[in-house]
Amino acid sequence: MPETLALPIHVGFILDGNRRWAAAQGLPPLEGHRKGYENLKTIARAAFDAGIKYVSAFVFSTENWDRSKEEVDYLMKLLLWVAKNEVKIFDKENIRIRFLGSRERLNSEILQAIDQAEEKTQNNTRATLALCLNYGGWQEITDAVKRIIGSTLSASDITPEVIASNLYEPDIPPVDFAIRTSGEQRISNFMLWRMAYTELYFAKPEWPAFTPNDLKIALQDFAKRQRRFGA
């Protein structure tokens, strides 16, 4: 990536199209999720190599619990395996791992693996990979409001900064650039607070087929934009 390219600090990925990709390849739908995770590693590395400091990925939403038990069970096992095993790879690459989402409905084994992964990588400084697990933008804001209500603050003390400081992992900055794959053009409850002024990009390939070159093209598109923040 050219040094003069204006890069976003935080890129958010809405990983859409895993099942459609699998169907087009004549593969079982669950194979699309496995391939989708493998591609997340590839694309995250490409983003970090380009100089991006934060990558967030929508890996399991609060609405995904409504999918079939077989699919939910598979995704939970895949995410547990990632938290237990793949974190070692990111740790060696000096990548900090963070999980954003509600802890409700996640079993104790997954919660323990999440906590251990975050602790293991907490001092890594190259970049941060934020995995949005059991995540929903509405739920994140709801949980933030609950924390504020439980504090000693009065209504007059509530500001956007106070709300932001009560989000999941509040040190993770706003999303500068959001990329959704598979041609769908919506944000689907992803990072609602952090995406107030996000530049949006909708790519045609399904997520497993999204390549580092597709990322390069997207970042070149971002660099051409003139960002406005209400001014």
Catalytic member of 64, 189, 214, 221: 64
**Gap between the Cα atoms of 52 and 54, Å rounded:** 6
pTM: 0.94
Q: Does the annotation count 16 as an active-site position?
A: yes
**Gap between the Cα atoms of 218 and 212, Å rounded:** 10
Q: Is 150 exposed, middle or buried (0-12, 13-18, 19+ CB in 10 A)?
A: exposed
Q: What is the CATH number of the domain that holds 138?
A: 3.40.1180.10
Q: 8-34 pLDDT, tens per residue?
A: 999 999 999 999 999 999 999 999 999
Residue 6 belongs to a domain:
no
pLDDT score for 231: 63
Residue 231 belongs to a domain:
no
- Number of domains forming the structure of the chain: 1
Beta strand 95-100 with 199-202 is unpaired
**Gap between the Cα atoms of 209 and 29, Å rounded:** 15
pLDDT score for 226: 87
DSSP state for residue 6 in the 8-state scheme = -
Residue 196 belongs to a domain:
yes
**Gap between the Cα atoms of 99 and 130, Å rounded:** 6
Catalytic member of 16, 143, 166, 176: 16
Residue 101 belongs to a domain:
yes
Evaluate if residue 1 carries a pLDDT over 90: no
Task: Say what percent of the chain tops pLDDT 90.
Answer: 94
Evaluate if residue 219 carries a pLDDT over 60: yes
Place of tokens 């994140």: 140
Place of tokens 């000693």: 152
DSSP state for residue 26 in the 8-state scheme = T
Look over the chain and give the mean of its residue pLDDT values, rounded to a whole number.
95
Evaluate if residue 176 carries a pLDDT over 90: yes
Residue 39 belongs to a domain:
no
The residue range of the domain holding 91 is 15-28+49-224
Q: Which contiguous run of DSSP H or E holds residue 211?
A: none
* R_g (Cα) of the chain, nearest Å: 18
Evaluate if residue 2 carries a pLDDT over 70: no
pLDDT score for 230: 73
pLDDT band at 68 (very low <50, low <70, confident <90, very high): very high
Write the single-letter amino acid at 123: N
Q: 179-191 pLDDT, tens per residue?
A: 999 999 999 999 9
Interacting residues of 165 by C-beta distance below 8 A, sequence separation 6+: none
Residues in the chain: 231
Residue 105 belongs to a domain:
yes
For residues 136 and 4, the model is more confident at 136
pLDDT band at 4 (very low <50, low <70, confident <90, very high): low
Evaluate if residue 156 carries a pLDDT over 90: yes
Evaluate if residue 165 carries a pLDDT over 50: yes
Evaluate if residue 3 carries a pLDDT over 60: no
Q: 105-138 pLDDT, tens per residue?
A: 999 999 999 999 999 999 999 999 999 999 999 9
Residue 41 belongs to a domain:
no
Residue 215 belongs to a domain:
yes
